[in-house]
């Protein structure tokens, strides 16, 4: 009897249901796989069928949606907040007056004798020379700060990092190469002491003698950083400049100084003087899996990821940025009221001007890939014009 019970219990003891030799099934979450094996994790997504997809569920050539909020700050003369996916940048523009008497070895400038036609230079050289006081006297001062706790590697109350300083330098360089702010919008004139011209006559006729400059301090703070920091920072800077209204500054001969009218309706709208509308698009290159061991330095093909997030920027060694604008032959003003039919016709025949193009770190991105990135940058330019134009009309 006991033997029969023992025979019946033997099969049950070897049943798979009670076996302790099989390893338990414990699938790892996606963020753990991305941390342990970031490059194979990215390759697994890009090699998916039927079409490649990124870990953020975007196609390789699909940028993140952007949003804009004008004038979120009350104290600066102009401000904006831009969201590019999970990357958030806020910018404030504050103007201060620089008296020309405080500039060492300054030569007084008068508007009474404009250059003759024969003395005019090449348009590009003339533009650079006319805007040279902006850089000589540091009238545009951008500064970007990452010490806001935007990422674990950027805790608050820390000194400026090298990455933040490089972004500030890139913003200043693009401001200079694009001639975004004309010098005339920063000048403050008054009557010449040697003339009998009254302030009313100076306002109605000749500008007289240059008395001071507006110095614009452009402060940017990255509130949340998830890749493409330069793109978000530049768009926030541009929108803040379009939103800037400087006080009406006049020279008071009795006080021998510049006085400002506090009424906003009489202020100088700097946005009306902004030239062009440069729009940047960052991108990275990912080598195919067989070349992935060299971190993108192989000779094979791969994928180009537009508007990368922080994970993709950390994995990919090949990176670049392109800045485009509509050719000067067409009007890039986002405030222009053109109907949708004519606007679409302009977009179809738009000639894009490349203001900046940089690429480093690999050989995945070639000429054909760059042409596609430029096309995507043109689409981003149209999207930014639509978003900015809608907010400018609403705020105006």
pLDDT per position as a tens digit, 152-180: 888 888 888 899 999 999 999 999 999 99
CA 228 to chain centre: 8
Q: What percent of the chain has pLDDT over 90?
A: 54
Q: Which of 178-182, 219-223, 287-291 has the lowest mean pLDDT?
A: 287-291
Token pair recorded at residue 123: 């348009």
Is residue 197 helix, strand or coil?
Answer: coil
A 10 A CB-CB count for 213 gives 22
Contact between 47 and 55 under an 8 Å Cβ cutoff? The reply is: no
Q: How confident is the model at residue 25 (pLDDT cuts 50, 70, 90)?
A: low
Task: Give the model's pLDDT for residue 290.
Answer: 56
What is the token pair recorded at 94?
């504050």
Which pLDDT score, from 0 to 100, does residue 196 have? 59
Tell which wins on pLDDT, 119 or 83.
83
Name the pLDDT band for 328 (thresholds 50, 70, 90): low
The answer on pLDDT for 222 being more than 70 is yes
Residue 23 has pLDDT above 60, yes or no: no
Nearest to 270, CA basis, from 239, 246, 238: 246
Work out the pLDDT band at 49, boundaries 50, 70, 90: confident
| pLDDT score recorded for residue 198 | 58
Which pLDDT value is given to residue 142? 97
Geometric angle at alpha carbon 54, from 52 and 59, rounded to 5°: 60
Of 74, 93, 105, the residue nearest 185 (C-alpha):
93
Per-residue pLDDT reduced to its tens digit, 179-190: 999 999 999 998
Residue 343 has pLDDT above 60, yes or no: no
* Residue 264: per-residue pLDDT: 85
- As a whole number of angstroms, the longest Cα–Cα distance in the chain is 131
CB atoms within 10 A of CB 25: 5
334 or 204: which leads in pLDDT: 334
* DSSP single-letter state for residue 178: H
How far is Cα 60 from Cα 52, in angstroms, rounded to an integer? 7
CB 222 within 8 A of CB 88: yes
pLDDT value of position 301: 78
Residue 100, helix vs strand vs coil:
helix
How does DSSP assign 233-255, residue by residue? HHHHHHHHHHH-EE-EEEEETTT
Q: Is the pLDDT of residue 48 over 90?
A: no
pLDDT greater than 50 at residue 256: yes
pLDDT higher than threshold 50 for residue 2: no
The region of weakest confidence among 252-266, 290-304, 311-325 is 290-304
| DSSP H or E segment with residue 165 | helix 162-178
State residue 192's pLDDT score: 76
Confidence of residue 93 (pLDDT cuts 50, 70, 90): very high
Whether the per-residue pLDDT at 361 is higher than 50: the answer is yes
Cβ-count burial 87-111 (b if 16+ within 10 Å, e if not):
bbbbbbbbbebbebeeeeeeeeeee
Q: Tens digits of per-residue pLDDT, 365-384? A: 999 999 999 999 999 999 99
Coil/strand/helix, residue 298: coil
Whether residue 62 contacts residue 305, with contact meaning beta carbons closer than 8 Å, is answered with: no
% helix / strand / coil in the chain, to the nearest 5?
35, 25, 40
**In whole numbers, what is the pLDDT of the chain averaged over residues?**
81
Task: Specify the higher pLDDT residue, 352 or 347.
Answer: 352
The whole-number pLDDT of residue 149 equals 86
pLDDT at 294 over 50: no
CA dist., res. 107 & res. 196, Å (int): 21
């Amino acid at each position: 009897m006991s033997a029969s019970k023992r025979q019946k219990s033997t099969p049950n003891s070897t049943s798979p249901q009670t076996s302790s030799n099989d390893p338990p099934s414990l699938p790892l979450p996606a963020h753990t796989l991305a941390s342990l094996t970031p490059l194979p994790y990215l390759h697994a997504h890009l090699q998916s069928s039927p079409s490649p997809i990124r870990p953020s569920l975007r196609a390789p050539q699909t940028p993140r949606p952007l949003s804009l909020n004008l004038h979120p700050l009350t104290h600066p003369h102009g401000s904006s907040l831009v969201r590019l996916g999970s990357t958030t940048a806020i910018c404030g523009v504050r103007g201060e007056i620089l008296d020309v008497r405080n500039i060492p070895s300054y030569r007084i400038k008068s508007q009474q004798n404009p250059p003759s036609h024969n003395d005019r230079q090449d348009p590009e050289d003339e533009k650079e020379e006319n805007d040279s006081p902006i850089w000589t006297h540091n009238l545009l001062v951008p500064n970007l700060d990452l010490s806001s706790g935007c990422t674990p590697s950027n805790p608050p109350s820390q000194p400026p990092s090298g990455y933040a300083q490089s972004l500030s330098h890139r913003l200043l360089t693009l401001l200079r190469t694009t001639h975004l702010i004309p010098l005339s919008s920063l000048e403050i004139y008054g009557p010449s002491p040697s003339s009998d011209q009254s302030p009313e006559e100076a306002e109605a006729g000749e500008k007289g003698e240059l008395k001071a400059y507006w110095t614009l301090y452009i402060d940017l703070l990255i509130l949340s950083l998830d890749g493409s920091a330069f793109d978000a920072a530049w768009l926030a800077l541009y929108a803040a400049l379009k939103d800037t209204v400087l006080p009406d500054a006049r020279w008071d001969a009795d006080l021998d100084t510049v006085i400002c009218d506090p009424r906003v309706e009489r202020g100088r709208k700097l946005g009306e003087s902004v030239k062009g509308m440069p729009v940047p698009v960052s991108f990275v290159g990912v080598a195919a899996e067989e070349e992935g061991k060299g971190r993108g330095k192989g000779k094979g093909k791969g994928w180009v990821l537009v508007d990368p997030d922080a994970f993709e920027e950390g994995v990919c060694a090949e990176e670049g940025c392109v800045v485009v604008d509509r050719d000067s032959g067409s009007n890039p003003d986002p405030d222009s009221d053109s109907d949708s039919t004519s606007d679409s016709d302009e977009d179809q025949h738009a000639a894009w001007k490349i203001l900046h193009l940089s690429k480093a770190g690999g050989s995945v991105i070639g000429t054909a890939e760059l042409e596609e990135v430029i096309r995507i940058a043109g689409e981003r330019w149209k999207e930014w014009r639509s978003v900015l134009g809608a907010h400018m009309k609403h705020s105006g």
